[in-house]
Amino acid sequence: MELLDDSIVPEEARTVKQEAREFAQEHIAPNAEEYFERGEYAEDILQEGMDAELVAQDIPEEYGGRGLSLSEVLAIAEEFYRADGGIALTLQLASFGAEIVVDHGSEEQKAEYIRPVAENEQRTGLAVSEPDTGSDLAGMSTTAEKDAAEQDSASPASTEATQDGDEWVLNGEKYWVGNGVEADWVTVYAKTGDDPDNRYGNYSLFIVPTDTDGYDAEHIPEKMAFRASKQAHITFDDCRIPEDHLIGVQGAGFYMLAEFFNHGRIVVSGHGLGLAAAAIEEASEFVHDREAFGRSVNEFQAVQHDLAEMRMEFESARALAWRAAKKVANGDQPGYWAALSKATATEAAVDCAERGMQLHGGRSVLTNRRIARVYRDVRVPVIYEGTNPVQRNLIYRQAPR
């Protein structure tokens, strides 16, 4: 069964798609069940992915990467997630957030922080969500203030950063941060202003090396899904970083993040499509092999309709995702297309997994079954990179009128 055929994939992305498929077949799929059971970070497969030049390679060639395009990263996502969500996330998150430094960082930042990631000597994470809020990007409370000791002692204490001082001091907490423990540095979203009339202008982004004093991270508790990936709870306690670790312009953090998420949501569409493909493959195989009432189960029309509807959702979502990838790459209403594609593909995965479970009968609940793993994993992409209700807000607000 060839669900992820490349007729819809642009020519430029087909070679890397084939590389990703071969890698997934050899390294991800055969280890998926074991990693899921153990709930361990897929370190050895990550290393193999690095050796295969399939990790962090969207970084431009001038900084040591392969300069993979958005289409190429989407093609990799489809293939990796079809093989296993948790391992795939570990591979795709090794450079998470680094893209923001590529797009908005200084040449010095790129030389010091981006090149080692492209060369797979370092890995990164993106710290946005907090224990008390994930969706409201203007409601985050982690602060970054200029060193108070350097401020004019006559001025009143303020949470707003000033241009004095030569260090930023971070305080607060972040939650759910992929690689918060494993990363060498993370891109941190923090509050640098307090203007009630400009809620979205109050945030900035920073490069924070994880060995900085005042940075502490621990793994969050066991998850029921994506178990071969690890997320962290980070605390910043007077965590001091040099002034030049600010990425781009102070106060532009929200806008840089929004742009980053437009690309990220296309890639998350690939997460949904890969998982949906896995559910369809698994369900089709099961009903063809299973007998009931003296017939193969796939001969019942109700079962055929389920399989037909899985295909309808999958093919519609896939057509939309590849269309949206082109729109986002061309900067053509990217917020609208990214949200539309992310919500549609990840919900197709939920529906295909649900139907796939039903078609498996009692065997659906055996934890060693691929369908049961997919069923749990599909719960995640509808949440991360902005929950799907939030995507609906964006679709409505940004729809072409």
Ligand X SMILES: Cc1cc2nc3c(=O)[nH]c(=O)nc-3n(C[C@H](O)[C@H](O)[C@H](O)COP(=O)(O)OP(=O)(O)OC[C@H]3O[C@@H](n4cnc5c(N)ncnc54)[C@H](O)[C@@H]3O)c2cc1C
Q: Which residues of the shown chain bind ligand X in the complex (CB under 6 A)?
A: 96, 125-129, 133-135, 176-178, 226, 231, 380, 383-384, 386-387, 389-390, 393
| H-helix segments, 29-158 | 32-38, 43-51, 70-83, 85-92, 98-104, 107-109, 115-118
Alpha-carbon distance of 385 to 70, in angstroms, equals: 16
Report which secondary-structure segment, H or E, holds 350.
helix 334-359
Nearer to ligand X, 280 or 380 (CB): 380
Instruction: Give the nearest distance from C-beta 267 to ligand X in angstroms.
Output: 13
Nearer to ligand X, 96 or 336 (CB): 96
| Of 267, 159, 161, the residue nearest 206 (C-alpha) | 161
Nearer to ligand X, 49 or 64 (CB): 49
Instruction: Give the nearest distance from C-beta 129 to ligand X in angstroms.
Output: 3
Nearer to ligand X, 21 or 174 (CB): 174
Alpha-carbon distance of 239 to 362, in angstroms, equals: 52
Alpha-carbon distance of 373 to 367, in angstroms, equals: 7
Instruction: Give the nearest distance from C-beta 65 to ligand X in angstroms.
Output: 20
Instruction: Give the nearest distance from C-beta 309 to ligand X in angstroms.
Output: 25
Instruction: Give the nearest distance from C-beta 5 to ligand X in angstroms.
Output: 29
> Residue of minimal CB distance from ligand X?
134
Nearer to ligand X, 3 or 183 (CB): 183
Q: How many CB atoms lie within 10 A of CB 224?
A: 10
Instruction: Give the nearest distance from C-beta 92 to ligand X in angstroms.
Output: 11
| Of 139, 110, 113, 140, the residue nearest 127 (C-alpha) | 140
Alpha-carbon distance of 261 to 335, in angstroms, equals: 8
Nearer to ligand X, 48 or 130 (CB): 130
